[in-house]
Amino acid sequence: MSGVPEGEVLVRGSGPLLLGVRHHGPGSARAVRAALRAAAPRVVLIEGPPEADALIPLAADKEMRPPVALLAHVVDEPGRSAFWPLAEFSPEWVAIRWALDHGVPARFIDLPATHTLAWGREESLSGDPWEDRPSDRSEEGAEDLSGDSESPSHAVRIDPLGVLAETAGYDDPERWWEDVVEHRGGAGVGADPFAPFAVLEEAMGALREAFGAWGHDRDLVREAYMRLQVRAAQREFGDDVAVVCGAWHVPALRQKSTVGADRALLKGLPKAKADLTWVPWTHRRLARVSGYGAGIDSPGWYGHLFGAPDRPIERWMTKVARLLRDEDRSVSSAHVIEAVRLADTLAAMRGRPLPGLTETTDAVRAVMCEGSDVPLSLVRDQLVVGDVLGEVPESAPAVPLQRDLARLQRRLRLKPEALERELELDLRKETDAERSRLLHRLRLLSVEWGEPTASRGSTGTFRETWWLRWEPELSVRVAEAGVWGTTVLAAATAKAEADAVAAPSLADVTALAERCLLAELPDALPVVMRVLADRAALDADVGHLAQALPALVRSLRYGDVRGTDTHALTDVAAGLAERVFVGLPPACAALDAEAAEDMRRHVDAVHGAVGLLGETGTVSPDGPPPSAGIRGRWHSALRVLAGRDTVPGVIRGRAVRLLLDEGELAQDEAARLMGLVLSPGTAPGDAAAWIEGFVGGGSGGGMLLVHDERLLGMVDAWLAGVPAEAFTDVLPLLRRTFSAYEAGVRRTLGELVRRGPGARGSRAVATSGMPGFAPDLDLERADAVLPVLSLLLGLDESDDDNLVEAAR
């Protein structure tokens, strides 16, 4: 080999330089760097898909920042994909960068992705080859090592790293690896940088001999292909060839095999047209906790070990202290010093050359976290694992949809980030409205970058709150969505139209219509509305119609803020409402308790939808708004529900309450209906259900009872007269009803019941004879509220007179 420093003693055999590594191992990465520096090969061969050779130069781009991954997907089936993740401390990445920095060719030599993605379609391959196939997990994952290549499902699965650690007397493979590799400084320390690879090759050879020469059919094929690539490189460059691959494969690459035998194993492999590119990756996705089979427990810790120039423990403790201070915890320099001392002491007591993650974690818990695991969990999440998100250059190949998305992200200043963050949008601003449309369109494409949540401090339709977090898997979702179009708008439109046709229920179609409005897809809306009208005409289930109406009516509100034309929805919504009004009373007859409660929720939802439908109507100069007729017919339907004995009590009670709140039912009439239902002729269970419908369900019924002592007295008198044998059946229902009230309301009701009816002694009781009510409006008390009301509504003094008249 050329490039060997004068006087340095190197111990290595003839033939290619085989560097068996641990995927994502910083010790292996340092060892690879030292070995390549000492050997100076003319070509570097790396385990990975050969189709990505053209992408290797991008690793030197200044915009490329690991962790990143090679993404391969089937052109006609983007959901079939595979990843090859690389972190800064991955040996493969170090080998690539060394080759690029020294002008040496770098090539991938693993089985081509065209075979990897096509092989075993029935197994639904998705993920990355290092994860899905045990033999690719190298020292990290469970290995499939039976000698029966015909029956891989019966293979013996072992962890080579665990076997070596157990042989050395360790019960933790990670701790063993730290002691023998990470804490020894890798192969860069000492006279022979190749010795660690020779030792690891010997260990793997012994394991393969003991547990079988292979663990999976694919191992044989992949190793045969790699041997052919190594031979081809040797013919071109002689023995100045370095191979970086999983240590498990090194004995197979070293063994003697004929070209004919290797080619015979590759004959007849299935193929699929594949595209490859670089995509960003994250430390969190490298962690085993994420489900990545070739992952590591602590990517953030390993990244620190690889990047720290010296004194890694002291630097780590400083990072921890900074994080805890940012969380307003009191951590001083003295804490850092004591934590370092404790970690060193623990390492000495446990016979370790240097403190590892276990010792540093124990020291942080004892000194900086005062024995608590709560702040320690933050350290694990933010530092030990971490939220580092890689970046790839714009010049990297991408599907057209990905390029359009990247363009929109730049224009709208929405940078993909691994760390979850909150985004508040004001839809009255054009940029925020465009951001909202983009996020809603991506959700239609199953690219769940943002998740909408309830806005704090605002109930208006002009404000939205999102939680954003970019995961590497979303790159696959974007590739999958590419089949629908080349831009986000075109793809979302095509996907919405297809979803409308395939929607299983009427409620799904109405929800899709709402999402189309949120995403502003005017071309998709006619298709969705046509399907919606057809489904509504054929669906006779009132429950389905009632479930679909609220989402449809909500959609009508978005036209005001977003400037979307919603006239197409109005006729469908009105027709759907009419069908609900007609079909609801018969549908409410003879229901059991569970079905009655479901229908009660539908009644509430329809009532709210009718109110919103009224807000969307336009006022005619010659008459009332067109919504007045809809409201009137809904009130008629509620009256039918309230007076029909075959309707369950919970629905009748709710109908009476809704009519009372709308001013369509007088207080005396409501009291009369309650008196009838609480009479001895009504079964206690049905009476209790009526009360639950009237005052329960979070409808403000508690305040109604507080301010109307007539109703409270009737409920109290009825409850006192319930027979003992029926009381135990009634009590759970009533307890559920009243337990939903706020504590202050429950306390006030209890005091009123304890005092007895009419105990307030107010002027209202004396003058009207009705507890809680006066004969006329108290104008003096009402006027006292007007200044505060003016402030809330943003009115000036000139509007006060109008406000007074409106209040009266």
Which of 95-104, 224-233, 780-789 comes out lowest in average pLDDT?
780-789
Q: Which two tokens mark 104?
A: 């040496």
> How many other C-beta atoms are found inside a 10 Å radius of the C-beta of residue 797?
7
298: which DSSP letter?
-
Higher confidence at residue 680 or residue 634? Answer: 634
pLDDT band with cut points at 50, 70 and 90 for residue 184: low
Which of 171-180, 185-194, 243-252, 379-388 comes out lowest in average pLDDT?
185-194
Residue whose entry in the numeric block shows the structure tokens 């714009």? 394
Strands 43-46 and 106-108 come out as: parallel
Mean pLDDT of 240-268: 89
> Model's pTM, two decimal places?
0.64
Tell me how far CA of residue 735 lies from CA of 558, 666, 738, 757, in angstroms.
40, 28, 5, 21
Say which residues have a Cβ less than 8 Å from residue 388's Cβ, sequence separation at least 6. 67, 282, 283, 299, 300, 303, 418
Beta bridge partners of 20: 245
Which of 3-12, 483-492, 536-545, 745-754 comes out lowest in average pLDDT?
3-12
Residue whose entry in the numeric block shows the structure tokens 């404790």? 342
Q: Return the pLDDT at 339.
A: 94
Q: Return the pLDDT at 187.
A: 40
pLDDT band with cut points at 50, 70 and 90 for residue 104: very high
Rounded CA-CA distance 541/546 in Å is 9
Say which residues have a Cβ less than 8 Å from residue 129's Cβ, sequence separation at least 6. 82, 84, 110, 116, 136
Q: Is the dihedral of CA 489, 491, 493, 496 positive or negative?
A: negative
pLDDT band with cut points at 50, 70 and 90 for residue 470: confident
Consecutive H or E run containing 53: none
pLDDT band with cut points at 50, 70 and 90 for residue 149: very low
Mean pLDDT of 689-714: 71
> How many other C-beta atoms are found inside a 10 Å radius of the C-beta of residue 794?
7
Q: Return the pLDDT at 752.
A: 80
pLDDT band with cut points at 50, 70 and 90 for residue 616: very low
382-438 tens-digit pLDDT: 899 888 888 888 888 887 888 889 899 999 999 888 778 889 998 888 899 899 999
Rounded CA-CA distance 740/693 in Å is 13
Q: Return the pLDDT at 762.
A: 41
Q: Return the pLDDT at 440.
A: 93
86: which DSSP letter?
E
Contact criterion met (CB below 8 Å) for 521 and 551: no
> How many other C-beta atoms are found inside a 10 Å radius of the C-beta of residue 744?
10
209-226 tens-digit pLDDT: 877 654 456 778 899 999
pLDDT band with cut points at 50, 70 and 90 for residue 318: very high
Task: Find out whether the peptide bond into 757 is cis, omega within 30 degrees of 0.
Answer: no
* C-alpha gyration radius of the chain: 36
Question: Could you tell me where the beta strands, DSSP code E, fall in 437-526?
Answer: 450-453, 463-468
Beta bridge partners of 422: 467
Q: Return the pLDDT at 210.
A: 78
pLDDT band with cut points at 50, 70 and 90 for residue 767: very low
Task: Find out whether the peptide bond into 67 is cis, omega within 30 degrees of 0.
Answer: yes
pLDDT band with cut points at 50, 70 and 90 for residue 103: very high
Q: Return the pLDDT at 7.
A: 41
Mean pLDDT of 751-775: 52
Report the residue count for the chain.
808
Rounded CA-CA distance 9/358 in Å is 36
pLDDT band with cut points at 50, 70 and 90 for residue 557: low
Q: Return the pLDDT at 150.
A: 35
> How many other C-beta atoms are found inside a 10 Å radius of the C-beta of residue 720?
8
Q: Return the pLDDT at 751.
A: 81
Beta bridge partners of 157: 144
Torsion, CA 453, CA 454, CA 458, CA 460, rounded to 10: 80
Q: Tell me: pLDDT of 759 over 60.
A: no
Mean pLDDT of 67-80: 82
Rounded CA-CA distance 93/70 in Å is 11
Consecutive H or E run containing 722: none
Rounded CA-CA distance 431/433 in Å is 5
Contact criterion met (CB below 8 Å) for 16 and 228: no
Most confidently predicted of 170-179, 439-448, 469-478:
439-448
* Share of residues in the chain with pLDDT > 90 (%): 21
Mean pLDDT of the chain: 78
Quick one: how far is CA 789 from the chain centroid? 42
Q: Return the pLDDT at 556.
A: 67
For the chain, give every domain's residue range. 17-290, 308-385, 400-488, 777-808
Q: Which two tokens mark 651?
A: 């629905």
Strands 106-108 and 68-74 come out as: unpaired
Q: Tell me: pLDDT of 95 over 60.
A: yes
324-350 tens-digit pLDDT: 999 889 999 999 999 999 999 999 998
Q: Tell me: pLDDT of 463 over 50.
A: yes
* Share of residues in the chain with pLDDT > 70 (%): 79
Contact criterion met (CB below 8 Å) for 262 and 227: yes
Q: Which two tokens mark 732?
A: 């759970």
> How many other C-beta atoms are found inside a 10 Å radius of the C-beta of residue 773?
16
Which of 127-136, 278-287, 493-502, 786-795 comes out lowest in average pLDDT?
127-136
CA atoms within a 13 Å half-sphere pointing along the CA-CB vector of 321: 19
For every residue of 194-225, which 3-state class applies, written as one string?
CHHHHHHHHHHHHHHHHHCCCCCHHHHHHHHH
Main-chain phi, psi angles of 109, to 5 degrees:
-130, 5
pLDDT band with cut points at 50, 70 and 90 for residue 183: low
Q: Return the pLDDT at 19.
A: 93
Q: Return the pLDDT at 453.
A: 84
Q: Return the pLDDT at 717.
A: 74
Q: Tell me: pLDDT of 35 over 90.
A: yes
Contact criterion met (CB below 8 Å) for 187 and 30: yes
